[in-house]
Amino acid sequence: MYKSKFLILRIKTFFVPFCICAFIILLLVFSKTNLSAVESGLILWVNFVVPSIFPFLIATETLCYTNIVPFLGKLLNKIMKPIFNLPGESAFPFIMGIICGYPIGAKIVSNLKLQQRLTTVEAERLIAFTNNSGPFFIIGTVGAGFFKSTTVGLLLLFTHILASLSVGFVFRWWKYNTKKDLIKTNNLISCKESISFSNLGEVLSNSIMKSVNTILLIGGFIVLFSIVISIFKNSGILYLLSKLSTPLLNILNIPSLFADGIITSLLEVTNGIYNVVSIPYKLISLNIVICAFLLGFGGLCIALQILSIISKAQISIKPYLIGKLLQGILAAVYTYFIIYFIPIFNLDLWIVYLFFATSINPLNNGPGLFGLDLNSGWNCEATKYGWSFSSTISTNLPSGDVPEHIKPASSIFSL
């Protein structure tokens, strides 16, 4: 027994150095493709991440020098306490986390913990649901950019926020009976710390320096995981992981062709979601549901960014990982039910097929009970006056039963 424990300890000791050495070797082996991956990661960081996050980082850092946090604490305490079992100050990181996206929520929670406005348990509850993808990314990049549909982006944003609120409600019981570990300072911050015209330059300088450090940290993780994904693809590791994940996907009734995109998203969410959206599958609702889960979970790259931020405040990463997994599952469930119970959000190809079929042939009674098998209107036999009512392929009537001189039914697609 002692030998087995010693062996496990030795494996843990040498596992990280082994991975680093293997990474360096693979960097040299796949140096050509890795250079392209670094370039792609830098372009992603410069063109999308810096413009969308850096200004918000400066703004939130500066707001921490004002009295906005205690003001929100007094204003929203009656809402946050009964629903999330959190003080009113926790509304600030939640709101900013939704508006600004990753990792603003974690940064604010870490600051509040260091300023002793939150206990350790409250910070852990808060970290589980205040780190979310921003509306700019979900609606602009995923919705309008990837799916070419703002409607899909709005749907994903709604279920993303709804799942986040659900996780916050569940985590109100996280370490429920734990005693408070410190005395919080809920009073207004002192005049020495508060921003004013006399110290505006100093406050802005500090905010910018902290924001630069954070944005460089994010950029480093993006480039690192771009390289990791490139190595996985070229070394065959991604193919192997896809094969190993196929049985689980089969249980979930997900086609194996989504395996590469899902695994890539679990590493880095942006590239992975693009791969999932690009998969040509007739039930596009499946692509949307999978993207809802991946947006909720966030991926390993973001998790490490969060860990690097909250470790300074001695906040555990465990509630974050549990909360993000739960948020991904709930977002996928909410998206599934909305798609299948609200027709406007159902973009599956068979729905479009049915629409065209009934538009071309409005006199039929629609599809059969178990499929499009009755008078669909497609593959109709040509006549001297146009199409006949019945198809020689898809109708249940024998060919020749319909007179040849029948004119085609009116259609919104008729010229």
69 — pLDDT class (breaks 50, 70, 90):
confident
- 281 lies in a domain? yes
Exposed/middle/buried for residue 14 (C-beta within 10 Å: 0-12, 13-18, 19+): exposed
Q: Which of 358-362, 363-367, 390-394 has the lowest mean pLDDT?
A: 390-394
Exposed/middle/buried for residue 143 (C-beta within 10 Å: 0-12, 13-18, 19+): buried
Helix axes 200-235, 300-310, angle to 10 degrees: 140
The residue-averaged pLDDT of 240-252 equals 89
The pLDDT, as a whole number, for residue 2 is 59
pLDDT higher for 219 or 159?
A: 159
pLDDT higher for 385 or 266?
A: 266
- The closest of 131, 55, 87 to 303, measured between CA atoms, is 131
200 — pLDDT class (breaks 50, 70, 90):
confident
Q: Say yes or no to pLDDT of 116 above 50.
A: yes
The residue-averaged pLDDT of 67-84 equals 81
Query: Are 316 and 413 members of one domain?
Result: no
Torsion sign (Cα): 12, 17, 21, 27: positive
- 357 lies in a domain? no
- The closest of 273, 268, 290, 158 to 220, measured between CA atoms, is 268
Query: Are 23 and 47 members of one domain?
Result: no
Q: Say yes or no to pLDDT of 349 above 60.
A: no
Which residue, 296, 315, 345, sits at the end of a domain?
345
> Which pTM does this prediction carry?
0.73
Q: Say yes or no to pLDDT of 129 above 70.
A: yes
Alpha-carbon gap, residue 70 to 76, rounded angstroms: 10
The residue-averaged pLDDT of 185-200 equals 54
Query: Are 30 and 68 members of one domain?
Result: no
Query: Are 66 and 201 members of one domain?
Result: yes
pLDDT higher for 9 or 371?
A: 9
The pLDDT, as a whole number, for residue 375 is 37
pLDDT higher for 105 or 360?
A: 105
Q: Say yes or no to pLDDT of 323 above 90.
A: yes
Q: Say yes or no to pLDDT of 407 above 70.
A: no
**Domains identified in the chain, total number:** 3
Query: Are 28 and 57 members of one domain?
Result: no
The pLDDT, as a whole number, for residue 1 is 56
The pLDDT, as a whole number, for residue 409 is 39
Query: Are 100 and 21 members of one domain?
Result: no
Exposed/middle/buried for residue 392 (C-beta within 10 Å: 0-12, 13-18, 19+): middle
Inter-residue contact 254 to 286 (CB < 8 Å): yes
pLDDT higher for 275 or 396?
A: 275
The pLDDT, as a whole number, for residue 321 is 93
Q: Say yes or no to pLDDT of 21 above 80.
A: yes
pLDDT higher for 161 or 361?
A: 161
Helix (H/G/I), strand (E/B), else coil: 383? strand
Query: Are 284 and 375 members of one domain?
Result: no
Query: Are 372 and 243 members of one domain?
Result: no
- 209 lies in a domain? yes
Q: Which domain holds residue 26?
A: 2-34
The residue-averaged pLDDT of 75-99 equals 85
- 350 lies in a domain? no
Q: How many helices (H) and strands (E) does the chain have?
A: 17, 2
Which residue, 345, 372, 398, sits at the end of a domain?
345
Q: Say yes or no to pLDDT of 411 above 50.
A: no
Query: Are 296 and 400 members of one domain?
Result: no
Query: Are 28 and 47 members of one domain?
Result: no
Query: Are 303 and 377 members of one domain?
Result: no
The pLDDT, as a whole number, for residue 355 is 46
Query: Are 174 and 264 members of one domain?
Result: yes
Q: Which of 148-152, 202-206, 377-381 has the lowest mean pLDDT?
A: 377-381
